[in-house]
């Protein structure tokens, strides 16, 4: 007796979904079933949205952030403070910084961090264009907002050393206790760093 599985077209959909990050076989199956049962226009809308995004999106030629136009809205915005650049690893990190409402400067997206293990060196990151941006003398401060893991730290340090000869101030995001967090539950390393970077009140 032949065992019954999903029809080939459904199997193909499931296989495609499994390739997405964070999606295992079970989730892929559930998503596939959902898409098959969804209204025609919803499923088609999703497919269209993926195609549209793929077609339109590109990297801003100045900062490397994702944009639908030649230059991203932040780089176009004349209200922004052009003397400060905030360096982040991923486009999503810009959005997090934006949401604070505390930052008026420009961004630069590296699209990753140094990691010899994964074969990522300085030339594989969006670093050269940052150095170019710093040449015109307008920028006064570069804020390193890379992640706090070993790779993020190494990337920040590497850039800081490259930028140093240009006499531009390089700063690093402060480390500290989570706002509203309990001291008792803060790990030693974080608390140690927070002590080093304490502020007078």
Partner 1 sequence: MAILRLNSLIMRNFRNYKEAEVSFNPRLNLILGDNAQGKTNLLEAIAYLSLGSSFREQGDDKLRRQGEDFFFLRANYSNKSGSHLLSVGSQSVKAAHNRRLWKRDENPCRKVSEIAGLLHTVVFTPEDLQLVKSSPEVRRKFLDREMVQLYSGYYLYLNNYRRALQQRNNLLKQLDYSASVQADEQLAVWEEQLAENGAVIIKKRLDLLHLLNEIGQKIQAELTDCREQLRLQYLSVWSAADIEKIEPAEIAARLRQAYVDGRPEDKRRRTTLLGPHRDDFRIYINETEGRYYASQGQQRTAALALKLSELELVWQISGYYPLLLLDDVFSELDKNRRRELLRLMLGKAQIFITATEVAGELQSLRSEDYQLFEIENGCILGA
Instruction: Tell the smallest beta-carbon distance from residue 187 to partner 1 (Å).
Output: 6
**C-alpha dihedral sign at 92, 93, 96, 100:** negative
Query: CB–CB of 106/84 below 8 Å?
Result: yes
Residue with tokens 């594989």: 124
Q: How far is the CB of 119 from partner 1 (least distance, A)?
A: 7
Supply the minimum distance, in Å, between the C-beta of residue 149 and partner 1. 8
Question: Least distance in Å: CB of 192 to partner 1?
Answer: 7
**Residue 182 or 188: which CB sits closer to partner 1?**
188
126 versus 140: smaller Cβ distance to partner 1? 126
Binding interface with partner 1 (CB under 8 A) = 24, 114-117, 119, 121-122, 149-151, 153-155, 157-158, 161-162, 187-189, 192
- Tokens found for residue 107: 């961004």
DSSP 122: G
CA atoms within 13 A on the CB side of 95: 5
Nearer to partner 1, 62 or 127 (CB): 127
Nearer to partner 1, 92 or 122 (CB): 122
Query: Strands 169-172 and 141-144, how do they pair?
Result: parallel
Residue 127: alpha-carbon gap to chain centroid: 15
């Amino acid at each position: 007796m032949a065992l019954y599985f999903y029809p080939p077209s459904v199997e193909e959909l499931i296989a495609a979904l499994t390739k997405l990050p964070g999606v295992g076989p079970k989730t892929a199956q559930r998503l596939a079933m959902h898409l098959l049962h969804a209204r025609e226009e919803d499923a088609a809308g999703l497919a269209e949205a993926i195609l549209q995004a793929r077609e339109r999106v590109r990297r801003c030629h100045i900062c490397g952030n994702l944009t639908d136009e030649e230059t991203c809205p932040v780089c176009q915005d004349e209200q922004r403070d052009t003397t400060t650049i905030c360096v982040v690893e991923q486009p999503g990190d810009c959005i997090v910084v934006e949401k604070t409402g505390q930052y008026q400067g420009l961004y630069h997206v590296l699209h990753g961090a140094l990691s010899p293990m994964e074969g990522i060196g300085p030339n594989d990151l969006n670093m050269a264009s940052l150095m170019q941006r710093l040449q015109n003398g307008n920028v006064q401060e570069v804020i390193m907002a890379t992640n706090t893991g070993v790779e993020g730290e190494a990337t920040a340090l590497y850039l800081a050393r490259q930028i140093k000869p240009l006499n531009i101030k390089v700063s690093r995001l402060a480390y500290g206790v989570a706002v509203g967090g309990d001291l008792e539950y803060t790990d030693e390393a974080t608390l140690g760093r927070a002590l080093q970077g304490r502020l007078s009140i």
